[in-house]
Homo-oligomer: A and B are copies of this chain.
Amino acid sequence: MTGSLATDLPGVELITDADVLASLSHDDAEWAPAGRPVGAVRARTTEEVSAIVAACAARRIPVVARGAGTGLSGGANAVDGGLVLDLSRMNKILEIDPDNMIAVVQPGVVNDDLKAAVAEHGLWYPPDPASAPWSTIGGNVATNAGGLCCLKYGVTRDYVLGLRAVVGGPAGAYGTPVRLGHRTTKGVAGYDLVSLFVGSEGTLGIVTEITLRLRPARKAAPRTVVGAFDSVVAAGNAVAASTRLGLLPTALELLDRACLQAVEEWKHLGLSSTAEALLLAQIDTPGEAGQDEANALARVFQDAGAQWAEQSTDEFEAEALFAARRLAYPAMERLGPVLTEDVCVPRSAVPAMLASIEESAARHGVAIATIAHAGDGNLHPLIRTPTGDEAAREAAQAAFEEILTAAINLGGTVTGEHGVGLLKRGGLRQELEPAVLSMMQAVKQTLDPLDLFNPGKVVGI
């Protein structure tokens, strides 16, 4: 079958080397199962993607797109008998249009590379998942990635104006390239297929070009406010209080002691703390108004019982703290397998959710370290499991399911920014009304009647 697929695609190298295939067959979600693909290709143009999708459709070979493989839900994991479509070589920034504050990019462009390129034009692309040094815009679009600054500046979907995508079904033969959305900041010409594709994890078609809205670069260095707390729940109370007062920092991040220690042991950034939890806030309102916000936030931290709370006057210290936040996930991964949660709850429920996580950890005897975009109510408890210990693995899985249920019961969702992929398929079914799941499945079936694009993921059966 792969032999004949190769014949169909004369100019494209079909990778069948087992080691390379294995490395291209999974993302960064250690617990998610990966299938055995028949091959992989590295596309470079929309036309190649078109030809690949058409050839796969003719042979009913499923297509799973991938970028850098930094996903945390298994959304890019290969499926048995499918083709892996690696888009990481489609890494050209096609256009930066400062007059309209727009960029047009291929899906394989790395988030930080785009940031650097637009900065040269005095522009800023805000979405900043912790994976920004490695993750691609295509992957960010596939999962509707969030990050630190979405508290104030929104998530990936808020920046996608238009998409080029290779689709099938009602659009015509599989392999048809279409343009969705527009280049204008407003537009209501028909249904919002762009928003439908963003976050759909490659299940509706293959995105080959992305038109992004940009913002003017920020002029002043942001202010940092740090608070240290005796418990993660106390830190959660400070988060809820800050929302209640209408404070809108750029970022409001929580790191517990286990995460801080893991980073320090790895990177020696000079972080030392006796606190059980730190809150890191960034404020980018310029001038006196920004100073007022910083003061108000420090007061909120103190009123919520912080050991201490202060505005960092040392730029290096502030940078080290945010670096620690970004490195927390890989630092924990170094210590062994991690099962990553991505629950998101209404902000007032953050303390209750944090308490519930601690209870689950105690009940199941598992170690859970927590990092969180706390200001958004988006928490990432990281459940650790020693390799080879089956009982520990089962306990971790039980805690994982319990945390999903708790989030739903608090009015939240099982995934704030990582996507459903494979790991949250059960949680999704628990969260959504059956009628809504049916609507989503019907949309998938309509736009991809062959179930060719990333089958089994998100709402797949």
Identify the interface centre among A190, A248, A439, A444: most chain B CB within 10 Å of its CB: A190
B185, B376, B427: the one within 8 Å of A377 (CB)? B185
Residue of B nearest to A377 (CB): B184
A319 to chain B, nearest CB (A): 23
B170, B347, B431, B438: the one within 8 Å of A171 (CB)? B438
For residue A446, CB closer than 8 A to chain B, the reply is: yes
B-chain residues with CB within 8 Å of residue A123 when the two chains form the complex: 246
Given A158-B158, A188-B418, A442-B447, 16 further pairs, Cβ under 8 A:
A97-B346, A99-B244, A99-B346, A150-B186, A151-B185, A179-B433, A182-B413, A184-B416, A187-B416, A188-B415, A191-B199, A191-B459, A192-B195, A192-B198, A193-B443, A287-B287
Contact size range, A: 35 or more
Kindly supply a per-residue 1/0 record for chain A positions 159-194, scoring 1 wherever the CB is within 8 Å of any chain B CB and 0 otherwise.
Answer: 000000001011110001011101111111111110
List chain A positions with a Cβ less than 8 A from chain B: 97-102, 122-123, 143-144, 146, 150-151, 154-155, 157-158, 167, 169-172, 176, 178-180, 182-193, 195-196, 198-200, 215-217, 240, 243-244, 246-248, 285-289, 344-348, 373, 376-378, 411-420, 424, 427-428, 431-433, 435-447, 458-459
Are B217 and A184 within 8 A (Cβ)?
A: no
B-chain residues with CB within 8 Å of residue A247 when the two chains form the complex: 216
In Å, the complex CA distance between A457 and B172 comes to: 23
Residue of B nearest to A156 (CB): B188
In Å, the complex CA distance between A415 and B144 comes to: 26
Are A189 and B415 within 8 A (Cβ)?
A: yes
Residue of B nearest to A143 (CB): B188
A34 to chain B, nearest CB (A): 21
Are A442 and B191 within 8 A (Cβ)?
A: no
In Å, the complex CA distance between A323 and B69 comes to: 53
Residue of B nearest to A123 (CB): B246
B-chain residues with CB within 8 Å of residue A447 when the two chains form the complex: 439, 442-443
Residue of B nearest to A194 (CB): B195
Are A171 and B435 within 8 A (Cβ)?
A: yes
B-chain residues with CB within 8 Å of residue A150 when the two chains form the complex: 185-186
In Å, the complex CA distance between A439 and B192 comes to: 11
Copies in the complex: 2
B155, B172, B191, B435: the one within 8 Å of A435 (CB)? B172
Are A417 and B186 within 8 A (Cβ)?
A: yes
B-chain residues with CB within 8 Å of residue A412 when the two chains form the complex: 182-184
Identify the interface centre among A170, A185, A415: most chain B CB within 10 Å of its CB: A185
B186, B427, B458: the one within 8 Å of A191 (CB)? B458
B-chain residues with CB within 8 Å of residue A346 when the two chains form the complex: 97, 99-100, 102, 183-184
Are A440 and B195 within 8 A (Cβ)?
A: no
In Å, the complex CA distance between A99 and B410 comes to: 14
In Å, the complex CA distance between A351 and B22 comes to: 54
Residue of B nearest to A158 (CB): B158
B-chain residues with CB within 8 Å of residue A440 when the two chains form the complex: 190-191, 193
Taking A346-B102, A347-B100, A446-B443 as contacts, is the C-beta distance between A196 and B186 under 8 angstroms? no
Identify the interface centre among A151, A171, A433, A439: most chain B CB within 10 Å of its CB: A439
Taking A243-B101, A287-B287, A439-B178 as contacts, is the C-beta distance between A413 and B184 under 8 angstroms? yes
A247 to chain B, nearest CB (A): 8
Are A416 and B244 within 8 A (Cβ)?
A: no
Taking A243-B101, A412-B184, A435-B178 as contacts, is the C-beta distance between A442 and B199 under 8 angstroms? no
A318 to chain B, nearest CB (A): 21
B-chain residues with CB within 8 Å of residue A243 when the two chains form the complex: 99-101
Are A436 and B180 within 8 A (Cβ)?
A: yes
Taking A172-B438, A191-B200, A459-B191 as contacts, is the C-beta distance between A185 and B376 under 8 angstroms? yes
In Å, the complex CA distance between A243 and B157 comes to: 22
Are A191 and B196 within 8 A (Cβ)?
A: yes
B97, B248, B289, B443: the one within 8 Å of A443 (CB)? B443
A76 to chain B, nearest CB (A): 15
